[in-house]
């Protein structure tokens, strides 16, 4: 018989790349992210019996990690004026990769995501990158779905603007003479 | 009924496949005639694809061995502790289970817009009309390709218009001095009776485009053009034709006209 905790641990290990990516996008620092991932795993293992089979493991882990990060930010805020730990574009593709134009384009999108405020960044990552539904993202973040949607829409408009993705034409009156 | 008053959130939810069936149909119906609305939807589709693509490389980074080792060690220790105490540790205070009803599919509604799915998967979509809009798949398109692509958005130029007015489907016609060729695919009518043509455009130095243009008061308007980048890596391109197909369905295109009907329609009321 396999030890369920070991099984859970392996599941966690398999999920590390995604968890780490989410952490990096939150902290914008790989070193800080790795510590955060470790802390989240510790917490998850301690509470592994609370994970319900049939529910989304990724959402469960994202929530644990994100709560730890928010706690950490709060502590930093009360401890001193440090707001953002690192403002570098840590999400950007490491240099040394073939500098094709496609790579450059990716880099600029990653940098633009890095430039978003945390509340927009996290909702963007959860939905557009990790493919959680609005509802699942709302549960991870502990906010209403409506808030997820308004933050996400703003995040994407900002991203479009920052990366030169064609901005939508400003909304205008219906020119075709329809009623309202 | 006019549906120009869709909020950003609604259009975003449409782009994300999160709308309920009824609202989704309403947006789809509005998209048939509203290019500006299409541009707004396209922005949300593109930003999603761009974000996903941009952060993909981070997934491929090796997780530091040290981190993996620590997690394994913690798992083993947690197993020991659990056996020893046979009681859950108290650390997981804010660990809340996520309930997903068994009957809830991954996608919030069972029948996502086929047009939307195809469009989302396509790598380059130009939606023509007044708000000619370029959707670059995942923000990947070489910006150098934009001017060429933009030429096909909106009103079709005179040379191409003349071809669309006359050439029979199946024909391949040169656009003129080194301008590439047009291959006429089909002619068909919308529910409204408006004549449209699907054609392929091959221009030197540009990615090939599959286009749909419709004729309104003697003027051909590009409604859609799709392409796929050459040699895009790691991002599986969906069939451009599938996108066109889905688009045609969404705008209520009829079956392709046969040769006689086509001739008649082309020669008819311009």
ipTM of predicted complex? 0.78
- Fold classification of A1-88 (topology level): Rna Polymerase Sigma Factor; Chain: A (1.10.1740)
What is the predicted pLDDT for the residue at A12?
92
Distance from CA of A121 to the nearest CA of B (A): 10
Query: Residue A134 — very low, low, confident or very high, per pLDDT cuts 50/70/90?
Result: very high
Segment A122-133, tens digit of pLDDT: 999 999 999 999
Looking at beta carbons, which residues of chain B come within 8 Å of A134? 13, 16, 18, 108
* Distance from C-alpha of B55 to C-alpha of A22, rounded to nearest angstrom: 10
Query: Residue B200 — very low, low, confident or very high, per pLDDT cuts 50/70/90?
Result: confident
State the CB neighbour count (10 A cutoff) for residue B270: 10
Instruction: Report the mean per-residue pLDDT for chain B.
Output: 71
Q: Do B182 and B163 touch, CB atoms closer than 8 A?
A: yes
What is the predicted pLDDT for the residue at B103?
39
Q: pTM score, two decimals? A: 0.59
Closest CB from A45, A51, A146 relative to B75:
A45
What is the predicted pLDDT for the residue at A87?
43
Segment B42-63, tens digit of pLDDT: 899 989 999 999 999 999 999 9
What is the predicted pLDDT for the residue at B108?
43
Distance from CA of A81 to the nearest CA of B (A): 27
* Distance from C-alpha of A45 to C-alpha of B100, rounded to nearest angstrom: 21
Distance from CA of B45 to the nearest CA of A (A): 9
Residue B265 has pLDDT above 50, yes or no: yes
Q: Where in chain A is the domain with CATH 1.10.10.10?
A: 99-165
Tell whether A167 lies on the interface with B, counting CB pairs under 8 A: yes
Segment A135-173, tens digit of pLDDT: 999 999 999 999 999 999 999 999 998 888 765 444 443
Segment A20-35, tens digit of pLDDT: 999 999 999 899 999 9
If DSSP states are collapsed to H, E and C, what string results for chain A? CCCHHHHHHHHHHHHHHHHHHHHHHHHCCHHHHHHHHHHHHHHHHHCHHHCCCCCCHHHHHHHHHHHHHHHHHHHHHHHCCCCCCCCCCCCCCCECECCCHHHHHHHHHHHHHHCCCHHHHHHHHHHHHCCCCHHHHHHHHCCCHHHHHHHHHHHHHHHHHHHCCCCCCCCCCCCCCCCC
Residue B196 has pLDDT above 70, yes or no: yes
Considering the domain delimited by A99-165, tell me its CATH architecture: Orthogonal Bundle (1.10)
Q: Do A166 and B133 touch (CB under 8 A)?
A: yes
Chain A residues 62-101 with CB within 8 Å of chain B: 63-64, 67, 91, 93-94, 97, 101
Q: Where in chain A is the domain with CATH 1.10.1740.10?
A: 1-88
Segment B144-195, tens digit of pLDDT: 333 333 333 466 777 888 889 998 988 888 887 777 888 888 888 887 788 8
Segment A66-116, tens digit of pLDDT: 999 999 998 887 765 544 444 444 454 444 444 455 545 544 899 999 999
Segment B67-102, tens digit of pLDDT: 999 999 988 887 776 666 554 444 444 344 444 344
* Distance from C-alpha of B35 to C-alpha of B131, rounded to nearest angstrom: 6
What is the predicted pLDDT for the residue at B192?
77
């Amino acid at each position: 018989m396999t030890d369920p905790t070991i099984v859970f641990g392996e599941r966690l290990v398999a999920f590390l790349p995604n968890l780490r990516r989410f952490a990096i996008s939150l902290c914008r620092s790989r070193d800080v992210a790795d510590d955060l991932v470790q802390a989240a795993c510790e917490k998850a293992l301690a509470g592994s019996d609370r994970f319900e089979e049939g529910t989304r493991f990724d959402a469960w882990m994202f929530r644990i990690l994100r709560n730890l990060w928010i706690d950490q930010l709060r502590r930093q805020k009360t401890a001193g004026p440090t707001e953002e730990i690192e403002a570098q574009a840590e999400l950007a593709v490491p240099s040394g990769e073939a500098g094709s134009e496609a790579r450059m384009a990716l880099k600029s999108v990653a940098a633009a995501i890095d430039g978003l405020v945390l509340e927009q960044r996290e909702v963007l990552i959860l939905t557009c990158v990790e493919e959680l539904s609005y509802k699942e993202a709302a549960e991870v973040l502990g906010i209403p779905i409506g808030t997820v949607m308004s933050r996400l829409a703003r995040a994407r408009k900002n991203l479009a603007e920052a990366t030169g993705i064609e901005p939508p034409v400003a909304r205008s009156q219906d020119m075709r003479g329809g009623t309202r | 009924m006019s549906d120009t008053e869709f909020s950003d959130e609604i259009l975003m939810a449409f782009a994300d496949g999160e709308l309920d069936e009824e609202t989704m149909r309403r947006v789809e119906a509005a998209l048939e005639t509203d290019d500006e609305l299409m541009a707004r939807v396209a922005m949300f589709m593109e930003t999603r694809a761009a974000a996903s693509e941009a952060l993909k490389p981070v997934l491929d980074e090796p997780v530091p061995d040290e981190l993996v080792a620590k997690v394994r060690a913690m798992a083993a220790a947690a197993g020991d502790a659990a056996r020893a105490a046979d009681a859950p540790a108290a650390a997981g205070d804010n660990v809340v289970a996520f309930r997903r009803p068994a009957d809830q599919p991954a996608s919030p509604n069972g029948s996502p817009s086929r047009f939307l799915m195809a469009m989302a998967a396509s790598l380059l979509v130009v939606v023509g009309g007044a708000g000619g809009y370029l959707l670059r798949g995942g923000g990947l398109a070489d910006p150098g390709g934009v001017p060429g692509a933009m030429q096909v958005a909106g009103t079709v130029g005179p040379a191409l218009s003349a071809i669309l007015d006359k050439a029979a489907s199946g024909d391949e016609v040169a656009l003129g001095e080194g301008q590439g060729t047009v291959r006429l695919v089909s002619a068909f009518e919308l529910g409204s009776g408006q004549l449209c043509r699907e054609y392929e455009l091959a221009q030197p130095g540009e990615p090939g485009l599959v286009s749909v243009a419709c004729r309104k008061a003697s003027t051909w308007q590009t409604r859609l053009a799709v392409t796929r980048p050459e040699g895009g890596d790691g991002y599986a391109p969906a069939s451009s034709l599938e996108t066109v197909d889905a688009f045609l369905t969404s705008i209520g295109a009829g079956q392709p006209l046969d040769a006689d009907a086509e001739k008649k329609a082309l020669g008819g009321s311009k």
